[in-house]
Each structure stands twice: as C-alpha cells, then as structure tokens.
Amino acid sequence: MILAARYVLPVAAPHIVDGGVLVQGDTIVEIGEREKLIAAHPEEEVRDFGLACLMPGFVDMHTHLEFSAMRGLVDDLPYSQWKMQLLEKEQRLTAADWDDAALLGAAEALESGITTIADITDTGASARAAASAGLRALVYREVATMEKAHVGEVMAAAEEDIAEWREYGDPQRLTIGIAPHSTYSCHPAVYEAVTEVATRDDLPASIHLAGSKDEYDFVKYGSSRLAVDYRETYSGADLGWLPTGVSPVRYVEQWGLFEIPGLVAVHCTQVDDADIETLAANDVSVAYCPRCNAKLAMGMAPLGKFLERGIEVGLGTDSPASNNTLDMFDEMRIGLLIQRAVMGFEPYLIARQFVKLATLDAARALGVDDKVGSLEPGKQADIIAVDISHSHQIPTLYPYSTLVHTANQENIVFTMVAGQALYEKDEWTLLDHDRIRARAEELRDTLRS
C-alpha cells in the first residue's frame, strides 16, 4: 500500500512535498515523491490523504492509560493535594473499572495519533488495554512501599505480575518493565531490589523523579505537606523518615537506581546543575511533561540544559488525570511556548525540534528507535495522517509550524501500527467504542459523588 499526502515528514530527514510511503506487511519499504512511488509500484493500492501530514506516530513517553476516567476530577490544586485527592477517589474503582478506564485511554491514544506509549501501572490494566487496542506499549509494573519489611513481598508480587503481563500481547508490541513509584513512596531498599531485578532480567525501568517542590523538600529536608499527608493516609505509623540532605536525583543515585541501563526519569523539574550532570553521567533519559508540570504547578523542566548535556528527552502526557487529554500537539505547543516565554528565543525552541521530541527523540529515550519514531525503510509502519486543511490551518507554508501551532488531536484522521490501520474517521479496528463510552459515563457516576 502507498500512503500519500501533501507532506511526508520522515522526521529523521527533511520533509517531502507531495510525498508517499510504501508499506508492505508491518514494515516501511520506501519513502519518496508520490508520483515516482506510484510509477515504480503500479500494483500497489494508493491511499491519498490530500492536504495532510504523514508522519511517524507519536511516542507518548510517559502516561497512565488507566487514569483516563479521572479526567477533570481534580483540576485546580497543586501536585501534593491533587495526588492525595486522586488516591482517595481511586479506592472506589473495581478491577473492571480500571480495565475500562484504560480502554478509554487506549481509544483516545489511537484517536490522537499516539502509536507507542510508556505507561506506569500497578493494576496491569494499561497492558491489557494496549494489547486489546493494538498499541505498541512499554508498560512498567509500579512498585511502592515505605516499609522495609514489606519490600520482599512487594517485589515478589511485582515479578509475578511482570511474567503474567508479558502474556497479554505480542512481544513485538508489548514490553513489560518495572517502576519504583517515587521518592516519597519507596523505602531505599526498593531501589536496591528494583536495580537488582531490572539488571538481572534486562527490564526497562522508569521513576517519577524530582517532580515537585514538596517532593524535593521531603527528600532533602525531611518534611513537606506531601510527606505528612501521604504517610498519614497510607501507614498511620511513624515510618521514621529523616532529612537526607540531598536532592531527589542524588538520593536515588546513592541507592544505585541509575545503574539500570536506560532508566527513564519522569518530570525532573526540581533539578540543579549538579543533578543534570548526574543524569547525564548515568545516561538517564527524561520524560518532559510540560502540560502536567504547568497545571499542577510542579515547575518547568530545564529542557535546554538537558539537550545541551546530551540527555535523551522526549515528550509525555502523564495521563488525563493531570493534563486532561492525551494530546501530543498540546504538549508540543505548550512545551515550546512555556520554554520560550521563560528562556527567550533559543535555537532549540522551534517547531521542528518539538515534533522530534514527540516522535524520534522519545523513541530514542525509550530505546525503541531501531523500530519506531521516524519514517525510514526497514522500520515498523507506525504511521499517522494529520489533516491540516481547516480554515485555521491554511495556507500551510511550513508543515512543522502547522502541526505545532495549529493542529490538535481532532486532526488525526488515520493511525496505523505495524502496518495495521487501527483508527480511521471515528472507527477503531479492535475496540468497541460505544461500550467504552457507556462505561465512561458509569465511571463518572462512581467518581463524582
């Protein structure tokens, strides 16, 4: 099949006007000018999307599909209070609720042109939903306990889940990893245990790290609202937390976590130059979640310094519970504008860079760029079509600007993963969207009271 459009954006190479992509099976075979491709392959079916961009599917470097039912539930509170309210509401959901919430997230991801997700979950719902929807997914099994005595059983349960979750989907599309939740919810022994298991079993790993001032104060000074609220709610006991005197980044480094190859640190808004050096020296990748960071008043990640130090960075949505939609266009636009408002004009703060952060850079940061992230012969055919023909988008002089400054998730008209069309014009190949919508209404009733 030849997919064609006004613009083809390989991302790793300059864009092609009136271009096409030849897909055979699950693989991209050739990219080039539309007419030449058609002439060279007259037997191939041609799908022409007209005034649209064909580009690699978005790689959402950090999300939680199962939090999709929490959209709009807690909107105007800072991180610590948001987190506590969310934790309270979470208790109301059954296992079936989590599964359907994750399916809602999977449907939204495909509808938004996201073809690869990196998702942290403790229920496994995201892994099941991603497999059902056909998404490419890296799902990390979350582990958390503040009590040293419980670390053994928590890790045993996690290892059991990891083995089970692997069976949910095709290993070509579904990979299971492990994620210590955060510095305020894990005893140091968790980091040691996770490092041992991840290194031994070659598991990808991720952690929410240095995401808020409260977290920073908790680790360094031993107290903050987050620490008090969280511990009161989840232990009722004095867990004996003492000031460590170091930053969250330095703290987890001390417990060996950065020994895991390719660790993905999420947020990293509260980092100083020494922390950035530590992240760079240990080849830690960073998931930059600009909307979530802004909405929950977590701070602004120093993107320029990350890039300058050669840290692998990609964009993440961090789920509808915090930013309300899985819209990578919003992440690109808001990420670029926030950075430019604060940092001024910098050479890296341009639309093309942010398209790269949402695709190839995120794939590289997750270690999957050999398969996805750009349109290149031999890579997997994870391709989206973005319609850019609306009045507010024309004339389209430069496709990267059009995408970043005028497009939204509604402009996605076609989403393909591994050569399989999974979403097109409000139709999902593998999902029953009417059922998902009906269940979302039920979850609304469960959560709002």
| Shortest separation between residue 380's beta carbon and Zn ion, angstroms | 26
The answer to whether 287 touches 264, Cβ cutoff 8 Å, is: yes
| Shortest separation between residue 62's beta carbon and Zn ion, angstroms | 6
Q: Which amino acid is at 205?
A: A
Q: Alpha-carbon distance 356 to 347, whole Å?
A: 14
Q: How many residues bind Zn ion (CB under 5 A)?
A: 1
* Closest-CA residue to 19 (of 42, 44, 50, 63): 50
DSSP alpha helix (H) spans, 325-398 = 328-343, 351-357, 360-366
> Binding marks (x or -) toward Zn ion, 299..338, rule CB under 5 A?
-------------------x--------------------
Cα dist. 46→25, 117, 385, 422 in Å?
Answer: 15, 29, 14, 18
Restricting to residues 30-69, name those near Zn ion by CB under 5 A: none
Side-chain-facing half-sphere of 339: CA atoms under 13 Å:
26
| Shortest separation between residue 318's beta carbon and Zn ion, angstroms | 4
> DSSP letters of 27-94?
EEEEEEEHHHHHHH-TTS-EEE-SSEEEEEPEEEEEE-GGGGGGTTTS-SS-HHHHHHHHHHHHTT--
| Shortest separation between residue 207's beta carbon and Zn ion, angstroms | 10
Burial class from Cβ neighbours inside 10 Å (0-12, 13-18, 19+) for residue 198 reads buried
| Shortest separation between residue 226's beta carbon and Zn ion, angstroms | 15
The residue nearest Zn ion at its CB is 318
Nearer to Zn ion, 115 or 323 (CB): 323
Nearer to Zn ion, 312 or 318 (CB): 318
Nearer to Zn ion, 66 or 318 (CB): 318
| Shortest separation between residue 125's beta carbon and Zn ion, angstroms | 15
DSSP alpha helix (H) spans, 184-289 = 188-201, 213-221, 225-234, 248-254, 273-281
List the beta bridge partners of residue 360: none
Nearer to Zn ion, 318 or 387 (CB): 318
* Encoded tokens for 110: 């495909």
| Shortest separation between residue 120's beta carbon and Zn ion, angstroms | 6
Helix, strand, or coil (residue 114): strand
> Binding marks (x or -) toward Zn ion, 149..188, rule CB under 5 A?
----------------------------------------
Nearer to Zn ion, 60 or 318 (CB): 318
Nearer to Zn ion, 316 or 373 (CB): 316
| Shortest separation between residue 329's beta carbon and Zn ion, angstroms | 20
The answer to whether 327 touches 63, Cβ cutoff 8 Å, is: no
Burial class from Cβ neighbours inside 10 Å (0-12, 13-18, 19+) for residue 448 reads exposed
Nearer to Zn ion, 318 or 361 (CB): 318
Give yes or no for residue 142 binding Zn ion (CB under 5 A).
no
Nearer to Zn ion, 3 or 120 (CB): 120
| Shortest separation between residue 320's beta carbon and Zn ion, angstroms | 12
Nearer to Zn ion, 182 or 411 (CB): 182
Binding site for Zn ion (CB under 5 A): 318
